[in-house]
Structure formats: structure tokens, C-alpha cells
């Protein structure tokens, strides 16, 4: 599974008429059993949520009051992210006859009362922001949002926001979408949410969510690689000046080219863009060609002399989800390089199963370690996607590795046998950035 956390809105997404139905509850239980962390994200006040939702225990964390309150059911921990509403504002709303609902932090009002509410804010000099949720409106301190609340929860999990799939349906879910790696909504969502979502699935409320979770989410059928929003620019086409992009998740990439053709430059550009967007990256560098990457903020480089050093270097992903680690294997003889690469890939596969990290694994000179007699298939796991293989002899790669490739990017390539191989094997024809 690409995603490790499922963050779901309550009203209009999981619940209809205040309750989560049996189909949605069953789907959530299956998701939890499959290893997904479940986070409930809602604009409801915490007190009201405890009244209407009978299964808060199903969630690993609850982000209530539009991000203003975080609750961990198993630990019984509740934490406010901002102070309670000023009493003088509540008194002014009472004086003006404006109905409201007060939570631990937020004040909920009808969107129809927006004008009088703004006047009350001005009259009391209270600085609260307005957040919209269909026909409702919430008053909350600056910086408080569903997205900010979920990011705090994900940090506590030791995971990356890129590993969160967010599901919502209303305006206050837009900041949730921005804070998460991928976003989906039911067809009943408001137009602004549908236009922002990476994935729109049929139906409405809990019935639609149940089908989405039980089907594409748990079945591995999410169209992650087809989201136009989730793409990385590598360069541009000379003929049209249009950007050449690749999906940021869900694909395996081959960068092929002659020696001294610019492959390392392409890899460096890719890693730079991934680091800028805070993806976790591991570069396996057999020839010491990527030491320059250590100049980028957030990138660490380790010279590897034995397998224990491999383990110590990769432990950084357990501390920092957005780490970029370059393993320099250039001092090792060839046979020990292959063993070190196999050790690193096996360890990375374990970390990926546990925490989904790193998001990308870059392997230079891949033909020297991924041929038939090279690294064992169990250590690689290329079917799990997120690999960038770099080579000038791609025809040496074992067949299972070639079958796993989704995107091929060419630097200068002149060897006829390699061009013939690439034309036979490329999934959709090679792209050539400049």
C-alpha cells in the first residue's frame, strides 16, 4: 500500500444524518486490520462529536473542531490547539440574537448570519478567522485548520504527510487536502472540492466511502500515477517548451543514457525536486557520483565500508520521514558492492513495509546489480514502485525488473542494441527531457 494513513471527514463523507452506517464502519475496520492508521477529521465540536459518534475508539486519532482539538482515544489524551473563544464575543453574539454553538475552541454559526457575525467580531475587536462548511461557518484562531491538525497527528505517528490519503466533501476540507499526499472525494462533494481532488469516486456519504475503501484503497487500485497535480518536472521539450513531467508516486522510473550523457544530472535534478517537496529519498551510489547532493539542505551522505554502516545510515528514515540519504559505495570492491546493495534494498523494503519510507529509492549503475545473477528478487520488491534505476546497459536488467518499469527517460543514447531494447520494452515510448 502506498498510503499509511486514512484521514476522513465526518459529515457528508463518513456519516449521514449524524451517524456512520454499518457499511462504512465495516470498511474502516478492514482498513485498520490492513495496517492503515485511521484519523477522523471533523468541524464538529468535540462535545457534540462524542454524542453522535459511537465508535471513536475505531480511530487512532481524532482531529475535531476543524483542527482545534486533537484526541487520542486509546490513550484518553485530549489537547487543545488554541485558547477557548473570548467571553466578550459570546456575549456580543447573545446580544445580537445570533444562534451559535461553542466548543472547546471554536464557535459554530450559520453561514446565513455571516454579516452580523463579522459585525460582532469588529465590535469586540476579536481576531478570529471564518471557515466555511456548506451551510455552516466556524470561527477559529489563525493557523487552526484540519490540515494543520492532521499534520501534527502524522508527525506523532512518525510518518510523512505524503503518506496520508485524505477524504472529504466540503470547503473546510480543502486545507486538509493541501496538507496530505493525495485526496479523494465522493461525487456529492461541493464543486471546489471536486476540482481540487486527485480522485472523485461515485456516490455520497458513507456508502460511497465504504465502496472506495473496500475497493480501490485496499485493493491497490487508486489511480495515483494519473493525478495531474502530483507530478514532478524534469525538464522541457525543445520543440514545444512544454514541461516534461513524471508522476511523483506510484511508478518505477528508468533513466538511461550513454556514459557522460547527463544521466547523473537528470538524477540530481530529480532528487533536488523530491527533496524540495519533502519526499524521503535513498540514493544507492556505487561509483561515488552523487557526493554533490550533500550540498542540498536535508541531504546526508554516508561512506559505506560494511553492512553495519548501511543499517546505521538507513536508520535516519526512522527519525525523519523526509530524509534524503546517499550511500556512497565507491570504496567497496564489486562483489561487496552488490552485497551492500542487496543489504540496503532488503532493509529499505522492511522500512517501507513498516512506515512507507523512503518514497523513492535511486539505484545508479543498476545493470551491475540487477542482472540475473545479481541482487536477489526478495530484497528488491520493485513491484512496490518508487524506484529510479539508472543505467547505460538496461538490456542487462533481469526481465522481472524490466516488467516493473512504468516510465523511461532518455539522456543521449547511441548504442543500437540499447535503443532496440528500449523501444521493445518501454511502456509508452521513451521521453527525452532537455
Sort strands 69-72 and 61-64 into parallel, antiparallel or unpaired.
antiparallel
Q: For residue 430, what pLDDT band results from cuts at 50, 70 and 90? A: very low
What is the pLDDT at residue 307?
Answer: 83
Q: What's the confidence (pLDDT) of residue 2?
A: 85
Instruction: For the chain, give the mean pLDDT.
Output: 92
What band does 235 get if pLDDT is binned at 50, 70 and 90? Answer: confident
Q: What is the value of pTM for the model shown?
A: 0.89
CB 106 within 8 A of CB 65: yes
For 274-307, what is each residue's pLDDT tens digit? Answer: 999 999 999 999 999 999 999 988 899 999 998 8
Would you say 369 and 375 are in contact if contact means Cβ atoms under 8 Å apart? Answer: yes
Residue length of the chain: 434
Residues 243-259 as b or e (16 or more Cβ within 10 Å = b)? ebbbbbbbbbbbbbbee
What are the pLDDT digits (tens) for 91-119? Answer: 999 999 999 999 999 999 999 999 999 99
Pairing of strands 5-9, 164-167: parallel
C-alpha cell at 142: 489563525
Domains along the sequence of the chain with CATH: 5-79+144-222 (3.40.50.1000), 87-140 (no CATH), 231-425 (3.40.50.300)
Name the grid cell of 56. 471513536
Collapsing DSSP states into helix, strand and coil, what is residue 232? strand
The helix (H) or strand (E) run that includes residue 201 is strand 199-201
Going by C-alpha positions, the residue among 214, 273, 296, 254 that lies closest to residue 22 is 214
Please state the rounded mean pLDDT for residues 31-41. 97
Predicted local confidence at residue 72, as pLDDT: 97
- pLDDT of 428 higher than 60: no
Task: Give the pLDDT confidence of 351-397 residue by residue, as tens digits.
Answer: 998 888 999 999 999 999 999 888 988 888 888 899 999 999 999 99
Amino acid at each position: 500500500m502506498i498510503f499509511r494513513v486514512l484521514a476522513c471527514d465526518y459529515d457528508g463523507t463518513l456519516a449521514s444524518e449524524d451517524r456512520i452506517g454499518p457499511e462504512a464502519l465495516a470498511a474502516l475496520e478492514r482498513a485498520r486490520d490492513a495496517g492503515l492508521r485511521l484519523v477522523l477529521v471533523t468541524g464538529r465540536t468535540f462535545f457534540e462529536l462524542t454524542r453522535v459518534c459511537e465508535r471513536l475508539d475505531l480511530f487512532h486519532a481524532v482531529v475535531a473542531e476543524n483542527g482545534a482539538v486533537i484526541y487520542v482515544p486509546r490513550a484518553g489524551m485530549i489537547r487543545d490547539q488554541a485558547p477557548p473563544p473570548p467571553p466578550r464575543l459570546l456575549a456580543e453574539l447573545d446580544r445580537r440574537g445570533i444562534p451559535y454553538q461553542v466548543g472547546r475552541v471554536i464557535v459554530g454559526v450559520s453561514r446565513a448570519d455571516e454579516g452580523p457575525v463579522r459585525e460582532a467580531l469588529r465590535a469586540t475587536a476579536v481576531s478570529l478567522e471564518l471557515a466555511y462548511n456548506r451551510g455552516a461557518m466556524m470561527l477559529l484562531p489563525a493557523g487552526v485548520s484540519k490540515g494543520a491538525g492532521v499534520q501534527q497527528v502524522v508527525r506523532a505517528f512518525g510518518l510523512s504527510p505524503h503518506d496520508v490519503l485524505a477524504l472529504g466533501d466540503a470547503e473546510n476540507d480543502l486545507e486538509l487536502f493541501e496538507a496530505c499526499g493525495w485526496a479523494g472525494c465522493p461525487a456529492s462533494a461541493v464543486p471546489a472540492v471536486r476540482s481540487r481532488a486527485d480522485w472523485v469516486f461515485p456516490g455520497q456519504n458513507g456508502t460511497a466511502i465504504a465502496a472506495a475503501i473496500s475497493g480501490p484503497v485496499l485493493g491497490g487500485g487508486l489511480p495515483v500515477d494519473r493525478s495531474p497535480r502530483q507530478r514532478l518536472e524534469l525538464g522541457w521539450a525543445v520543440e514545444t517548451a512544454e514541461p516534461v513531467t513524471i508522476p511523483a508516486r506510484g511508478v518505477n522510473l528508468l533513466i538511461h543514457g550513454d556514459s557522460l550523457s547527463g544521466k547523473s544530472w537528470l538524477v540530481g535534478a530529480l532528487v533536488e525536486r523530491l527533496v524540495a517537496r519533502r519526499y524521503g529519498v535513498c540514493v544507492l551510489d556505487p561509483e561515488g557520483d552523487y557526493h554533490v547532493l550533500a550540498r542540498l539542505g536535508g541531504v546526508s551522505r554516508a561512506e559505506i565500508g560494511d553492512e553495519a554502516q548501511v543499517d546505521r545510515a538507513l536508520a535516519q528514515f526512522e527519525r525523519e520521514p523526509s530524509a534524503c540519504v546517499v550511500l556512497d559505495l565507491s570504496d567497496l570492491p564489486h562483489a561487496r558492492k552488490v552485497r551492500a546493495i542487496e543489504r540496503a534494498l532488503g532493509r529499505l523494503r522492511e522500512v517501507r513495509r513498516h512506515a512507507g519510507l523512503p518514497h523513492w529509492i535511486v539505484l545508479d549503475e543498476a545493470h551491475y546489480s540487477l542482472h540475473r545473477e545479481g541482487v536477489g528478487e526478495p530484497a528488491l520488491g520493485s513491484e512496490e514502485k518508487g524506484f529510479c534505476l539508472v543505467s547505460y546497459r538496461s538490456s542487462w536488467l533481469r526481465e522481472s525488473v524490466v516488467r516493473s518499469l512504468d516510465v523511461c527517460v532518455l539522456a543521449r543514447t547511441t548504442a543500437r542494441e540499447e535503443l532496440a531494447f528500449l523501444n521493445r520494452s518501454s511502456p509508452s515510448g521513451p521521453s527525452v527531457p532537455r
